[in-house]
C-alpha cells in the first residue's frame, strides 16, 4: 500500500506492506523511486517492509537532496516517525550509500543490519552520465546509458517496467542524484560500522562492479557477500527471488 505522511514539513510518499519484523526499509538508487523495489518486496511476503521515495519524486516533495548526509538525515526522520520497532536499511546504489551513512552517523539499537545492493563505499559515476545531465535540457532525449545497468539479454518487459517508473522522477532530480552519488566517499570509515552487512553484487555490473563489493567485505567487520553470476546493476529487480532469498537467509541470524 502506498501511503503519504507529513514529516518535518515535507510530504513523504512510500510503500508499506505490513508484516513481521524486523522491518525492511528500502532506499532506491539514483533517478529511482519506490517502484524500483516492487519485484523484491513482492518476493518477501509476510515481512514488514517499506520502500521510501527520497525527496523530489513520486509524491515526496522536493527539492532533491545534494549530499548523502542530507539523505541520511531525511531517512532518520522517516524512521523516527514511521518505523516503531527494529529495522534493516536496504539500499541500492546511492541508497546503499545512505545505508552506510546511517550506520556511521545515526547508529541505533533498533538498527539490526544493512543490506547493500550493487553499492560501494565510493560511487564514481560514469562521466557519460554526468555529461548527459549537464547538456540535455529535456527528459526523454537521453541516449542509452553505458552497458551494465541490466544483465545481458535482459527481459524487455523488465526494461519497459523500469522506464515507466523512471518517468516519475523529474529530470533535474535525477541529475542531482547522480552528482550526489559521485561525491560520496566513506572508504576510510567502513571499519567503524558496528552492525552486520549483507553485500550483494552482480558480475555484469559496470556501474558498481564486484570489486566495490569486495572492498566493502574486506572492511566491514561483520558481513556476508553474495556475487550473482550474470547479474547487472539492477540485480534486485532482475533476480528478485535470489536477492530475497539472500535477505531472508541473512536475517535468520540477527
What is the span of the domain harbouring residue 86? Answer: 2-251
Q: Where residue 92 sits, what CATH number does that domain have?
A: 3.40.50.1820
Both ends of the chain: CA-CA distance in Å? 27
pLDDT digits (tens, 9 = 90+) for 216-239: 999 999 999 999 999 999 999 999
How far is residue 211's CA from residue 68's CA, in Å, rounded to a whole number?
Answer: 21
- Whole-model pTM above 0.75? yes
Give the three-class secondary structure for 198.
Answer: strand
Say if residues 104 and 214 touch (Cβ distance below 8 Å).
Answer: no
> Would the pLDDT of 107 be above 90?
no
Average pLDDT over residues 182-210: 96
Say if residues 215 and 197 touch (Cβ distance below 8 Å).
Answer: no
Per-chain mean pLDDT for the chain: 91
Kindly state the percentage of the chain with pLDDT values over 90.
Answer: 75
Angle between helices 94-105 and 68-82 (to 10 degrees): 70
Average pLDDT over residues 73-98: 97
How far is residue 146's CA from residue 2's CA, in Å, rounded to a whole number?
Answer: 32
**Number of independent structural domains in the chain:** 1
> Would the pLDDT of 82 be above 70?
yes
> Would the pLDDT of 126 be above 80?
no
pLDDT for the residue numbered 141: 47
> Would the pLDDT of 140 be above 80?
no
Amino acid at each position: 500500500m502506498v501511503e503519504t505522511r507529513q514529516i518535518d514539513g515535507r510530504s513523504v510518499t512510500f510503500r508499506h506492506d505490513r508484516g513481521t519484523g524486523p522491518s525492511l526499509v528500502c532506499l532506491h538508487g539514483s533517478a529511482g523511486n519506490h517502484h524500483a523495489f516492487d519485484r523484491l518486496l513482492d518476493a518477501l511476503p509476510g515481512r514488514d517492509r517499506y520502500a521510501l521515495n527520497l525527496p523530489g519524486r513520486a509524491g515526496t516533495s522536493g527539492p532533491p537532496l545534494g549530499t548523502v548526509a542530507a539523505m541520511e538525515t531525511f531517512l532518520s526522520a522517516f524512521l523516527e516517525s514511521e518505523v516503531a520497532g527494529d529495522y534493516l536499511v536496504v539500499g541500492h546504489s546511492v541508497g546503499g550509500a545512505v545505508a552506510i551513512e546511517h550506520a556511521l552517523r545515526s547508529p541505533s539499537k533498533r538498527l539490526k543490519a544493512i543490506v547493500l545492493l550493487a553499492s560501494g563505499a565510493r560511487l564514481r559515476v560514469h562521466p557519460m552520465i554526468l555529461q548527459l545531465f549537464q547538456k540535455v535540457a529535456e527528459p526523454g532525449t537521453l541516449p542509452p546509458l553505458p552497458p551494465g545497468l541490466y544483465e545481458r539479454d535482459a527481459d524487455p518487459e523488465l526494461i519497459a517496467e523500469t522506464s515507466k517508473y523512471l518517468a516519475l522522477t523529474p529530470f533535474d532530480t535525477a541529475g542531482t542524484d547522480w552528482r550526489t552519488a559521485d561525491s560520496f566517499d566513506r572508504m576510510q570509515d567502513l571499519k567503524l560500522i558496528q552492525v552486520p552487512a549483507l553485500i550483494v553484487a552482480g558480475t555484469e555490473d559496470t556501474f558498481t562492479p564486484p570489486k566495490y563489493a569486495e572492498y566493502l567485505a574486506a572492511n566491514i567487520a561483520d558481513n556476508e557477500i553474495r556475487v550473482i553470476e550474470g547479474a547487472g546493476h539492477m540485480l534486485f529487480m532482475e533476480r528478485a527471488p535470489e536477492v530475497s532469498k539472500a535477505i531472508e537467509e541473512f536475517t535468520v541470524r540477527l
